[in-house]
């Protein structure tokens, strides 16, 4: 069983690699990354003979195809902007695929390749990290209890009390977060998608501690792209995604975005051309990772309403994620990297049989997935309450 992790030296990819090493019947794990030096550092820290290192630029089609040839599964943990490069190569080489999501628009482009993936007999899972990923399967649990679905509201609450000298600490890829802060989020309602203003839809939500009460906003996310298609037979009429970042992070990043640091358009500075967001990314990378115990928390929650046996119900499924002490890794890395590894193992072992490009809610068996997730202290909490008849 040979599984390749692209971006395997990144914050999330390295967790997927580490999780894969714990499966006895995974024979080979190729840790492929743009930075060979960083990849070798990660491989050395794991000290596992299954892990092999390869340098790769995923935009080099010929080299990418040669790397993928003969593998069972490719797990894509590179920046989502490169998802199509990798998916197309997987279709050409007939290798199963999974990624961490495509921020709505990229996911929809990937879904358009469904017929090609079916034709060559591969499965391509669009978004199987924390969110999208765990949240998709929390939605699946609720939908399976209902005869008719009215609304699905995905909610993510984040808290991070980890000591740091850095002035701004991003819970995941800063480039992805900048897209979430600057691009129009989408909600699905009554058969159509409607763009919203960036940072709009402010709502006070109460999460379990240590997140607690937090202000959530609409965010551009893949669940809003796949749920209306995956659950259309249940008549779903509304889908939204909201995220609550830590308050100080929201304040600081909004200030930087308002100044223009979220822009991907080059500007002229002293006669030279620079991209504002790349300047910000470069400055943040100058702060070295600190060797301290993480103290963050993610709450992944899906609130679903609908009818069961003629009664209107609200089903809330959530997973509260804390740092994983055995590996000394953050909650955010844990709930993103381990689902990717679990899905990769399921693909390689033949547990997942549906073919084509789809969200995980259509192909990943929920019972087995959540049993595997519980190995990392992530467990589903469910509450069901009746709603007044309207």
pLDDT in tens, the chain (390 residues): 999 999 999 999 999 999 999 999 999 999 999 999 999 999 999 999 999 999 999 999 999 999 999 999 999 999 999 999 999 999 999 999 999 999 999 999 999 999 999 999 999 999 999 999 999 999 999 999 999 999 999 999 999 999 888 889 888 889 999 999 999 999 999 999 999 999 999 999 999 999 999 999 999 999 999 999 999 999 999 999 999 998 899 999 999 999 999 999 999 999 999 999 999 999 998 887 777 899 999 999 999 999 999 999 999 999 999 999 999 999 999 999 999 999 999 999 999 999 999 999 999 999 999 999 999 999 999 999 999 876
- The residue whose two tokens read 């000394």 is 328
Residues of the chain with CATH 3.30.360.10: 134-331+377-386
- Say how far apart CA 4 and CA 159 lie, in whole Å: 32
Q: Where in the chain are all domains bearing CATH 3.40.50.720?
A: 2-130+333-375
pTM, full prediction: 0.95
**CA-angle at 352, arms to 349 and 354, nearest 5°:** 140
Q: ω before 95 within 30° of 0 (cis)?
A: no
Q: Which helix (H) or strand (E) holds 386?
A: strand 380-386
DSSP secondary structure, 341-361, as one string: HHHHHHHHTT-----EEE-GG
- CA 370 – CA 134 distance, rounded (Å): 9
Please give the CATH superfamily to which domain 134-331+377-386 belongs.
Answer: Dihydrodipicolinate Reductase; domain 2 (3.30.360.10)
Architecture of domain 2-130+333-375: 3-Layer(aba) Sandwich (3.40)
């Amino acid at each position: 069983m040979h599984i390749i992790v692209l971006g395997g030296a990144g914050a999330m990819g390295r967790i997927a690699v580490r999780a894969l090493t714990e499966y006895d019947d995974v024979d080979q794990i190729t840790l492929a990354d743009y930075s060979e030096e960083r990849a070798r550092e990660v491989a050395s820290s794991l000290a596992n003979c299954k892990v092999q290192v390869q340098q790769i630029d995923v935009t080099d089609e010929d080299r990418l195809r040669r790397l993928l040839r003969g593998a069972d599964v490719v797990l894509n943990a590179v920046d989502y902007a490169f998802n199509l490069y990798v998916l197309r190569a997987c279709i050409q080489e007939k290798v199963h695929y999974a990624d961490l999501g495509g921020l709505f628009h990229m996911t929809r482009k990937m879904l358009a390749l469904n017929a090609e993936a079916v034709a060559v007999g591969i499965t391509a899972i669009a978004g199987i990290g924390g969110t999208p990923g765990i949240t998709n399967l929390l939605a699946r649990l609720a939908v399976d209890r209902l005869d008719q679905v009215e609304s699905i509201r995905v909610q993510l609450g984040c808290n991070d009390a980890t000591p740091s000298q850095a002035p701004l600490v991003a819970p995941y890829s800063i480039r992805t977060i900048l897209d979430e802060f600057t691009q129009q989020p989408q909600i699905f309602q009554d058969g159509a998608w409607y763009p919203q203003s960036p940072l709009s839809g402010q709502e006070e939500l109460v999460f379990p501690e240590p997140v607690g009460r937090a202000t959530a906003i609409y965010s551009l996310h893949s669940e809003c792209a796949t749920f209306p298609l995956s659950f259309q037979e249940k008549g779903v009429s509304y889908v939204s995604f909201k995220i609550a970042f830590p308050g100080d992070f929201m304040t600081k990043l909004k200030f930087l975005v308002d100044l223009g640091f979220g822009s991907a358009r080059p500007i002229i500075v002293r006669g030279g051309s620079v991209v504002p967001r790349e300047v910000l990314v470069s400055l943040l990378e100058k702060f070295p990772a600190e060797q301290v115990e993480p103290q963050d928390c993610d709450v992944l929650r899906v609130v679903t309403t609908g009818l069961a046996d003629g009664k209107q119900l609200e089903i809330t499924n959530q997973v509260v994620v804390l740092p994983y002490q055995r590996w000394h890794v953050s909650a955010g890395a844990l709930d993103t990297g381990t689902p990717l590894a679990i899905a990769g193992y399921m693909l390689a072992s033949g547990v997942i049989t549906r073919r084509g490009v789809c969200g995980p809610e259509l192909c990943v068996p929920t019972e087995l997935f959540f049993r595997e997730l519980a190995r990392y202290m992530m467990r589903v909490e469910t509450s069901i309450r009746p709603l007044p008849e309207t």
